[in-house]
């Protein structure tokens, strides 16, 4: 084997070495740094009725065009405006990308139930834009927004801002309390 020759130091390395002369390193702090735990995403439950979540959502009447906003009867339009302007802090989100319609519906129901139990007020549901469909809007986009109108815990929804998914996501305002 050949011995490796020491390469000449670059001017920056020489300057750094000179600047670090006489510096003593700090003793180890014994502190453990951890990455934050990965966000837990609920998995679709194929046996929703077994867990007590009744699947009462219908695909009938969804149409071809997705709703851009929804406001439950009896609520002020100001509520929707505040949601659009981000006056409620986003507390959780759900991503339905890549799921079929049945799995997405079950996961959405489970997510909404858990959000309600945790007392969350504002959440985001990402369904995607559906660009891979043959013309028109994505099936999941249309159906997800239609399902949300059928959920009594959803007071209002609107399209999310661009940084949260734009037309491929919706911000939801949920009822408070159980």
Q: Higher-confidence residue: 160 or 135?
A: 160
Residue 115 is predicted with a pLDDT of 92
Q: What is the mean pLDDT of residues 80-106?
A: 89
Q: What is the mean pLDDT of residues 39-56?
A: 52
Render pLDDT for 50-85 as a digit per residue (tens, 0 to 9).
445 556 665 555 555 667 888 888 888 999 899 989
Q: Which CATH architecture has domain 62-178?
A: 2-Layer Sandwich (3.30)
- The answer for residues whose C-beta is within 8 angstroms of residue 124's C-beta and 6 or more apart is 90, 92, 93, 94, 160, 164, 165, 169, 170, 171, 172
Q: Name the average pLDDT for the chain.
A: 79
Residue 59 is predicted with a pLDDT of 55
Segments making up each domain of the chain, as ranges: 62-178
Render pLDDT for 108-124 as a digit per residue (tens, 0 to 9).
999 999 998 999 999 99
Percent of the chain scored above 70 by pLDDT? 71
Residue 177 is predicted with a pLDDT of 65
Let me know the angle formed at the C-alpha of 67 by 64 and 171, rounded to the nearest 5 degrees: 135
Residue 48 is predicted with a pLDDT of 45
Q: What is the mean pLDDT of residues 41-52?
A: 50
> Do residues 92 and 174 touch, judged by C-beta distance below 8 A?
no
């Amino acid at each position: 084997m050949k011995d490796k020759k020491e390469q000449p130091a670059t001017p920056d390395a020489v300057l750094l070495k000179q600047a670090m002369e006489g510096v003593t390193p700090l003793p180890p702090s014994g502190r453990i740094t951890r990455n934050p735990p990965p966000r837990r995403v609920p998995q679709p439950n194929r046996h929703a009725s077994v867990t007590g979540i009744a699947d009462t959502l219908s695909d009938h009447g969804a149409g071809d065009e997705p709703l851009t906003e929804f406001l439950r009867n009896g609520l002020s339009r100001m509520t929707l405006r505040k949601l659009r302007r981000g006056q409620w802090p986003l507390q959780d989100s759900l991503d339905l990308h890549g799921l079929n319609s049945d799995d997405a519906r079950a996961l959405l129901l489970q997510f909404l139930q858990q959000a309600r139990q945790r007392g969350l007020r504002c959440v985001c549901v990402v369904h995607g834009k559906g660009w891979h469909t043959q013309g028109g809007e994505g099936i999941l986009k249309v159906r997800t927004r239609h399902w949300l109108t059928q959920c009594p815990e959803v007071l209002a929804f609107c399209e999310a801002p661009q940084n949260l998914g734009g037309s491929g996501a919706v911000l939801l305002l949920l009822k408070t309390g159980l």
